[in-house]
Amino acid sequence: MSVMEITKMEITKMEITKPEITKAINTATEILKAGLPDFTHMFKEETSLNNYYFPAENIEWTPGFLTGQYWLAWELTRDDAFKDAALVQVDSFDNRIKKKIGVAHHDMGFLYSLSCIAAWRLVGSTVGRDAAIMAADQLMTRFHKVGNFIQAWGEIGAKANYRLIIDCLLNLPLLYWATQETRDEKYRTVARLHTQTALKNLVRPDFSTYHTFFFDPETGEPDRGVTAQGYKNSSPWARGQAWGIYGTAIAYLYTKDPACMDMFYGVTDFFIKRLESGCKDMVPYWDLIFDDKHGQPKDSSSAAIACCGMLEMAKHLPKDKAAYYTSIARKIAGSLARDYAAESDKSNGLLLHGVYNKQSPYNARADWGVDECTLWGDYFWLELLTRLSMDWKIYW
């Protein structure tokens, strides 16, 4: 190995530095500011094309990640242009839930926590508060007592759709918040039941995770784990594992259940071990079955999500464990800052080299957003930078 190669390896395993955080925040907020004329009344598509986003209506599961970026940018810069844009978008979310546009699925938390709950918490927007309660009620309609879980997609109760997915752990804070806000226990009860069912069935004995899990609609008995976006049913889809990391941290935050802490340790250590053994730069490939030998695309968004989960959980862990996970998160963040963060003349997104869907011989997805910016990758990158630069109060 040449001296240059050794030096490069050492640098990629270095924790992010203060000047790197400052530079990354400046670049990200400049990119967002430049995009405001195009992306206030319109949102961004789920992923970029050649690193540039096109405008999109507020209909998919992802627009909340843009409004969330504006709230973070406002907190970081106090530039009211971001607040004004976010509030325009909150009105759009209010309209969306009132007219029930594209809400027949479980992603109400991704949509409403980062837009409307953030608006309520940061600037006291009652439009945001009321819309978020409506979104929580919408999410509650997908809960099945037979099986004790929230159905992710498709026609309610249909056998072909009788499943939960790991991503849903990030939709549950909406329910915890709704209980805090309304004092009605029903939301928290559903969130807790879903978490128990999800963790019991999605996490394998080695702490890798299934993406989705089916149940018998008549008995509620667990049936089988199946992937939708991972390489195959038995492999650990990288973003699913990352949702598991942040999802267990959030579950612990709201329940203080030690079982959630144990699950956090398990799924996070599995993720870290895969990075340390197979990914020189500490950023995963789109499925954790792959390593540096396989020539597969990276999913930077998984890295950013996992880091946010580690930094959240570090607030609740004993000192030595907190220091360990914080250091890992700072190393991954260093790698993202050096090799994945977008420059303003090359992209209108924030974080390059993500994957939405990658086709495999074992999944039914077509390639979509492969080696592109993803709207959630951009959001979690900015959340990570925010967490590293200030004492941030969570929107989730």
* Nearest residue to the partner ligand GLY, using Cβ: 167
91 is catalytic: no
- CB nearer ligand GLY, residue 238 or residue 314: 238
| Exposed / middle / buried, residue 236 (Cβ in 10 Å: 0-12, 13-18, 19+) | buried
Structure tokens of 125?
């927007």
Secondary structure (3-state) at 164: strand
Task: Look at the chain and count its residues.
Answer: 396
By DSSP bridging, strand 55-56 and strand 43-44 are: antiparallel
In angstroms, give the least distance from the CB of 64 to ligand GLY. 12
In angstroms, give the least distance from the CB of 233 to ligand GLY. 17
- CB nearer ligand GLY, residue 21 or residue 150: 150
- CB nearer ligand GLY, residue 368 or residue 392: 368
Neighbours of 269 (CB within 10 A): 15
Neighbours of 55 (CB within 10 A): 13
- The residues, ordered by sequence, that sit 6+ positions from 201 with a Cβ below 8 Å of its Cβ are 164, 210, 213, 222, 225
In angstroms, give the least distance from the CB of 140 to ligand GLY. 19
Site of interaction with ligand GLY (CB under 6 A): 167, 229, 239, 356
In angstroms, give the least distance from the CB of 10 to ligand GLY. 32
Beta strands in the chain (DSSP E): 43-44, 55-56, 143-144, 149-150, 163-165, 212-215, 222-226, 354-357, 368-372
The active-site residue, picked from 107, 281, 287, 378, is: 107
- CB nearer ligand GLY, residue 229 or residue 255: 229
| Exposed / middle / buried, residue 222 (Cβ in 10 Å: 0-12, 13-18, 19+) | middle
Instruction: Let me know: does 218 contact 185? Beta carbons within 8 Å.
Output: no
In angstroms, give the least distance from the CB of 301 to ligand GLY. 8
- CB nearer ligand GLY, residue 12 or residue 208: 208
The active-site residue, picked from 84, 94, 137, 167, is: 167
* Unique residue bearing structure tokens 């008549």: 218
In angstroms, give the least distance from the CB of 167 to ligand GLY. 4
- CB nearer ligand GLY, residue 194 or residue 239: 239
- CB nearer ligand GLY, residue 153 or residue 324: 153
In angstroms, give the least distance from the CB of 212 to ligand GLY. 11
- CB nearer ligand GLY, residue 214 or residue 356: 356
Dist CA 333 CA 13 (whole Å) = 10
In angstroms, give the least distance from the CB of 278 to ligand GLY. 21
- Among candidate residues 380, 371, 357, the one with its CA nearest the CA of residue 301: 380
Structure tokens of 352?
């390059």
Instruction: Write out the DSSP string of 347-370.
Output: -SSSB-SEEEE---TTS-PPPEEE
Torsion of CA 218, 220, 223, 227, to 10 degrees: 110
Dist CA 45 CA 7 (whole Å) = 38
Rounded (5°) CA angle 75-77-81: 90
Q: What are phi and psi of 245, to 5 degrees?
A: -65, -55
Residues carrying an active site annotation? 107, 167
